[in-house]
Structure 1
């Protein structure tokens, strides 16, 4: 203890040195602790499911798919569920949206139809009530629902008497049988779950890849073993349904699916703060070398009166460690503030943001990194300061002589290291800034400014009549178009830069035959007349859709220029026919126009082939309105909401945002990377 007291007194006697070194260390240790908090919570901590490492997502990738993967066909899901030897249980969910009505204003909530064993596979049981019984997964059975804990608290005020009551969803009464536990991870995406009838067309047909499947590995089975079995399933399905064209099944752990997009960024951040911490250590080591040179005579006198060199080194390391702990104590509040700022900067850039917190592991890391840092920057100055004899110290006036010259050489080396690390950080930040600037300058193929988007859910018994559905949207769009300040308005089943996909298989008339081998898989976007104008997408040839395109008129299709160039001579597609696989039978469309291509999933991916079909001929109940305005689009939300309420008060709107916000969300992770690395490089300099 005497060594600690003496070391503390020595630091107090030199406040300028102590304060400077502590601030430098606080910045390095604080940044390192903040990034470790993210790495620990997002990459190292398991997901809040029992034995979550055994939970695996199962995705299908059909041949000729442009990119990415999709859900499973119901038949494939059923076969894997019944025949797999790698998984203890396999379950699935088909996502959807429901309108809740009956108590006040109608609202739309996200939910899913789930297979038997859904909650059991996840290892999650309800906080109240029960999960679904096997008989409840048959067509004709009365409807049941399990609500999320969050929705139960918000909509039903946490009333336990809700169990057994009936709630109207899409005009159909559902009995509430359970409430999911608080903190159930899937409540981030879903507010309710209903049984998936295994004998419904969702499961028995091959036309839709909607089942998001997952399984729990059997104890002792590795992911690699499960992948080998998945490859065997894929080869079987490929031979039976795709004529050996390359169907694949992909397995992804739950953790990788949750954080896969940010994993690389976090390791980049970890490397960056490692450089920053080394720069801090180099700075403090330089300060300690200068301080040690001034203490050469003190060390020589200690040696002369019998102090061993080991004891003197230990004393100086105690001082270094004390200094590092002071820096760590100052850095911890900086780390806490830094983590909060990162989450507030843009929560969309960090998955599992609500789970990020500092716990005992993070505190232990902060202490450990402080001690290690103290050893790193303290050992060389301690060795050099204790090397000089009393005779040399008196001869050189206490400046260390040749030891001082060696110290100067070492300080020069430290400066070179600091500059090199600073250059690495600055160059990396510069490259990311240029990459982000390049993404910002990319023409996405549509105009972003002054575009409002909002999802409208015309569902329920009334809108099962497709003519009623069409009339509602046509009247709504005409009402919106008549509003002051509105330039154009249309509707689509999904927007660019969204993960939603609507796959279709088509045969251009330039193909030799309509077989599975010649089928082209691509995106099919259902749009209302005026969509291209509202989005600022040029129609390069032919015409746009019109309200006169009706179910009883010839089927019309618009293709993008990527599709036109690939399948038609000189890109002249207008007038050609394209057959689409609809329920296993080809439906023939005439190409009436060619539209400009645009970036769909992200700004970094080039445009892909795509076809557009007319909403007026293939009605979809849930639509996203796209409204181009002459002024601030947000100022029109109230008027549009009122117009919808006047047409039908039971039709809710949700996910109201501008197209600029959609673009900002797609760039959230890149901007976070650029901001952090720029900050680190500034601190390093």
Structure 2
């Protein structure tokens, strides 16, 4: 080891380049392993998490995939299931907390009494809900999250028994939840209350008609497999379909999904893509360092021959050279850990709003063990063949050739060429993948959403149902709020809407057309449902194509009206004028007359084509949740204070949720794609730099080894241009082979990217050609400078050296 460290210290240039190259590759792999371990591999912080499943509803015909449960279906499962030890349901909501300074909106969860026991948890302090508290009319009690207890209640040991005013009603704190419930999917939840069936924002028709609203979890009985649970759910689903044929969820299938799989969703393919990319970067770095080792060991042939002549065995030589490569890799791994920590911190900051379990991501012991194993494998893998080759060289030949300079023989030359070709091929695969994502992202950003979010402020309001118990009270609040907002300085247009496009709040509801056969609720098609006030379309600059907008006469008690979009008209009124026609909307099944048609928007996301949507007047059918939309004359970023003041003038106890430019909110819909594109682009750029350096180093070494030959050629009359072409030809032949292999590999591997691409084919010939041309130019430049240096060889000096 001492000898190894002395050898590395004598060649600081080689050591530094090799360690940095490996640090980049190992650090990137360690960082991504840390993310993957936290998201996919680490067990959930619940008791026996492998037994936990979420029950979901899937109806491909109506576009529901892993949707929540309805209350009637939950009751059917609870009464008939034979495979679960525990079963519980809950629903996410929002609460207005008052009495502690300014009113604030907090995330809430209404859970049945058995929710905590199903997770295998108990309150850290205090107790769980009792059976009496979970029945209709039970006492108003609340469990608070660990973070809420620490931050809002200041970790007060006397917090139990205190009163919190939630939605205007006092609730007694009966327990502090454990830190485990501060992780996904409850990381935003601060208050838990019982009786989920009493959720205030749902109407009886929605609860009883099979609406998809409730989160249902279950714990498998010991010895029961997931397949057995799924068979039991299939039987229950068929029985439910027969018993409740008119419920909207009757056609849907019942899925039992492992809880961890449900939380991480379909992100495994994306992380597999990124892991493949960082693996390529490490392989390219290893190829570079292996080429450097080949050159280094070749230059030390005389030293190794002397060792053999003095009695060293070939095993001693191989172990010594492997130790050198392994020490380099371990030093690279140590530096890579530091890079990984910085990378993980940046990754978490960029993806904290959409990466599952982002709070749990860190470089911890499993990641350090992974780094150690990776560094050892890297050191042995990249050093083994060069060491074996160096140890096989006959000592007599090495001593005779040592003074002349040698390339190390044909085998070593073939290995260097093979490593260079592999670098080029891997770099091209990464470059093509990054180019596909960049093109996809660019085309996605050019998609017109169908409305204009620029210079629009958006904030949200969630009214307490106890204070606004009916449509008339809600209508009065919305009308007064809109009138007050309209006179704010700098406000050009104002509206309220429960689910603006691309806000993430839109949901489907069943519809039927009057005049056509009206199927049961479970067989009706769905359309996206919205509640908007007058001037909503003008505020977002959605064109009104026919008919009229809502007005202040569309109030409770007046004739029911509805506005549809073009996609709705095409689907349900092909070749007809929809104005004046009537449709039956939602689970409440109210009949409304179509009074207008507006342009289509990309409401769910920019990758999903516009679909059928209908808009109801919020002043007529008001609900407790809405958003405030204000088109401003200037930058909407500083408009939150004015909107909050106007809101408090209408209701002093009502907080403003969020408050930001609408364009900024929409930008979050690109966040996941942008992060993947940035990471893959960074890996591709790194691979391109390493490949360029690899080409340069190999060609520079070739020129050094062929100095005598070049001198003889020039002494015999070869021109500098001819020598330059000779060297370039050798390098470009290897580059061309690497490009061909890279194109073939990209054709195979990029097919797995189809799910993350938008408006671009995985085998787009222009992108492939452009990436190949760009890489070829970089590689040609890397060949050019050593070739140019070859033309400056002095024949006399070269011949004298020979």
Q: TM-score, normalised by structure 1?
A: 0.95
SS of 1:191 mapped into structure 2: strand
SS in 2 for 1:81: helix
Q: How far did residue 230 of structure 1 move?
A: 2.0
Does the aligned pair in 2 maintain the 1:510–1:568 contact within 8 Å? no
Structure 2 residue 337 is matched with structure 1 residue 340:
no
CA contact (8 A) 1:459 1:622 kept: no
Indicate the residue corresponding to 1:111 in structure 2: 108
- SS in structure 2 at match of 1:318: helix
- Distance in 2 (CA, whole Å) between partners of 1:224 and 1:210 is 25
User: 1:145-183: CA deviations, max 9, x gaps?
Assistant: 111121222222222323223322222222211111124
| 1:309 aligned to which of 314, 326, 329 | 314
Matches within 5 A, 1:71-110: 71-110=68-107
After TM superposition, list the pairs within 5 Å mapping 1:134-173 onto structure 2: 134-173=131-170
Aligned residues: 680
Summarize deviations over 1:27-53 as a string: whole Å, max 9, x none: 111111111111111111112112222
Are residues 1:10 and 2:7 paired? yes
Question: Would you say the 8 A contact 1:529–1:546 is kept in 2?
Answer: yes
Which range moves more in the overlay, 448-457 or 518-527? 518-527
Question: What residue number does 1:435 align with?
Answer: 440
Q: Secondary structure at the match of 2:571?
A: helix
1:385 alignment partner, one of 372, 381, 390? 390
Q: Classify 1:27/1:6 alpha carbon distance in 2 versus 1 (closer, same or farther; 3 Å).
A: same
Cα RMSD between the aligned structures?
Answer: 2.1
Residue in 1 that maps onto 2:781 = none
1-side partners of 2:594 and 2:121: how far apart? 50
Give the alignment partner of residue 658 of structure 1, picking from 651, 656, 661. Answer: 661
Q: Per-residue displacement from partner, 1:46-104 (whole Å, max 9, x unpaired)?
A: 12112222221111234742343422110101111232222211111122222122232
Residues 289 and 381 in structure 1, CA contact (< 8 A), matched pair in contact too: yes
Q: Give the superposition deviation at 1:206.
A: 2.3
User: Distance in 2 between the 1:310 and 1:202 partners?
Assistant: 81
More displaced, 155-164 or 331-340? 155-164
Question: Is 1:283 the counterpart of 2:280 in the alignment?
Answer: no
- State the match for 1:225 in structure 2: 228
Aligned to 2:707: none
Paired residue for 2:172?
A: 175
Distance 1:526 1:402, change over 3 A: closer
Distance change (3 Å), C-alpha of 1:675 and 1:524:
same
| Greater Cα offset, 670-679 or 492-501 | 492-501
Q: Is the Cα–Cα contact under 8 Å of residues 393 and 401 in structure 1 kept in the other structure?
A: no
Residues 417-476 of structure 1: CA deviation (Å, up to 9, x unaligned): 000011011111111111111111111222121111111133253322432321121111
Equivalent residue for 1:641? 644
Question: Which runs of 5 or more residues in structure 1 are unaligned?
Answer: none
Question: CA 1:248/1:68 → structure 2, altered by over 3 Å: closer, same or farther?
Answer: same
CA distance in 2, matches of 1:423, 1:326: 28
2:775 aligns to what? none
User: What residue number does 2:212 align with?
Assistant: 209
- Aligned equivalent of 2:261: 256
Q: Which residue of 1 aligns with 2:596?
A: 593
Q: Deviations over 1:292-324 (max 9, x none)?
A: 111122222222222221221111101111111
**CA distance in 2 between partners of 1:156 and 1:401 (Å):** 76
* Structure 2 contact 475–620 (Cα < 8 Å) conserved: no
Paired position in structure 2 for 1:531: 536
Structure-2 change in CA distance of 1:448 and 1:204 (3 Å): closer
Q: Does 1:195 align with 2:198?
A: no
CA distance in 2 between partners of 1:564 and 1:631 (Å): 36
Assess if the C-alpha contact under 8 Å between 1:488 and 1:534 holds in 2: yes
Q: Does 1:26 align with 2:23?
A: yes
* 8 Å CA contact 1:65, 1:522 repeated in 2: no
- Structure 1 or 2, whichever has the larger Rg, is 2
Which is worse superposed, 419-428 or 70-79?
70-79
Find the residue that maps to 1:505 and give its secondary structure.
Answer: strand
Look up the SS of the partner of 1:348 in the other structure: coil
Q: Within 1, Cα distance between the matches of 2:398 and 2:405?
A: 6
- Secondary structure of the corresponding residue to residue 356 of structure 2: coil
5+ residue gaps, structure 2: 689-802
Q: SS where residue 168 of structure 1 aligns?
A: strand
Structure 1 counterpart of 2:461, from 453, 456, 479: 456
CA distance in 2, matches of 1:378, 1:510: 79
Cα 1:481/1:406, change in 2 over 3 Å:
same
Secondary structure at the counterpart of residue 673 of structure 1: helix
Question: Scaled by the length of structure 2, what TM-score is found?
Answer: 0.81
Q: Secondary structure at the match of 2:454?
A: coil
Mapped to 1, the partners of 2:209 and 2:501 lie a distance apart of: 26
Instruction: Quote the Cα distance in structure 2 between the aligned partners of 1:324 and 1:133.
Output: 59
